[in-house]
Amino acid sequence: MDKNKSCVISFKVSEKTQEMMSDELAWCMREKTPDYAKWQAKDGDTVITLYESGKVVFQGKDADLASDFWISTEKINSGNVDVKNSSENKKNNSSNDYINPKIYNSSSIGSDEVGTGDYFGPIVVTATYVPKDKINFLEQLGVKDSKKLTDNEILQIVPKFIKEIKYESIILSNKSYNEYHSKNVNMNKIKAILHNKVLYNLSSKIDNYDYIIVDQFAEKYVYYNYLKDTQNVVKNITFLTKGENKHLSVACASLISRYIFIKEFEKLSKNIKIDLPKGAGNNVDLVAKQICDKYGFDKLKEIAKLNFKNTEKIK
């Protein structure tokens, strides 16, 4: 693959996603913008442009990685997204989907996270170790990426394998999340810190493994730059896009993270005696206002990600 080739990915985003993007990318926005653009930002090697029409364009050799999170966010916010990929290198797209049998059939550690697109509820990051002799067992259970299963299906499938594999999880409360953001730590840096913690904790307990796999959300050098002030950095990582399809350790990490998130979400709803909606749509704004009316605005500091644009609307 020619790493100098550029990839261009575009899709329309809802107002909710536009607000989230504007907030999350404020730190890297450019002073000058193209005609008909609301703003333009440069994150690593990717240029991101949001146009007045609502179309967002990611351009650069890492555009596929930079856009993945926002594609998932838009699916949560609006339920649908039409992605156009005009990659200058068609092989780049096929390589992202390629499943290397050597990796897939290995005994490896993988990590994934959930909760980053939800206003309420924690962020959960999990690392799992799947030895090669457990692959068939997990395939028979139908283990796959959590985004491809309903919450009810996840609640059914995870208890069937969670005691059969080793894993480490971290639950980042929204109170802690808000403390990170108050120090200008962006979402991807938070994710990098949490992934590193679970990977270090788990790999320290396992003598033999073939790979450590991270479902890639940032270019390798960007990921490690996020960890420049962190101790015990795990170095021998294989970064894979769509990692949940390329090794079951990532798929299991995705499912366990979602399982824990669902349980924590239920506890949170029960604690405040209000059914909390997932995602960050208009229904979230209505419930957040209800919480403020009942408990006061400060309650949101404990249960919501205050940097989301929902907060400004509620105020």
Top mean-pLDDT range of 40-44, 67-71, 116-120, 122-126: 122-126
| 57-103 confidence digits (pLDDT tens) | 999 888 888 898 899 888 888 888 889 887 644 444 445 678 899 99
Separation CA 50–CA 12 (nearest Å): 9
Tell me the pLDDT tens digit for each residue of 211-237: 999 998 888 888 999 999 999 999 999
The DSSP code sequence of 66-113 is: HHHHHHHHHHHHHS----EE--S-HHHHHHHH---HHHHTS-EEEEEE
Are residues 309 and 260 located together in one domain of the fold? no
pLDDT value of position 26:
84
pLDDT value at 287 more than 60: yes
Distance separating the N- and C-terminal Cα atoms of the chain = 49
Q: Which residue has the tokens 């938070």?
A: 190
For residues 216 and 303, membership in a common domain is answered with: no
**Are residue 248 and residue 147 in the same domain, yes or no?**
yes
- What residue type is assigned to position 241 of the chain? T
What separation in angstroms does the CA of 238 have from each of 37, 78, 100, 228?
36, 32, 12, 18
Of 118 and 79, the one with more pLDDT:
118
Q: Do 111 and 259 share a domain, yes or no?
A: yes
Q: pTM of this prediction?
A: 0.74
- The CATH number given to whatever domain includes residue 58 is 3.30.310.10
* Mean pLDDT along residues 20-32: 87
Do 148 and 218 lie in a common domain?
yes
- Give per-residue pLDDT as tens, 27-59: 888 888 888 899 999 887 899 999 989 999 999
Last residue of a domain, one of 63, 89, 115: 89
Domain termination site, one of 38, 55, 89? 89
Q: How far apart are CA 291 and CA 248, in angstroms?
A: 39
Classify residue 96: in a domain, yes or no.
Answer: no
In a domain, 236, yes or no: yes
CA 166 – CA 107 distance, rounded (Å)? 12
- Cα separation, 116 vs 267, in Å, equals 18
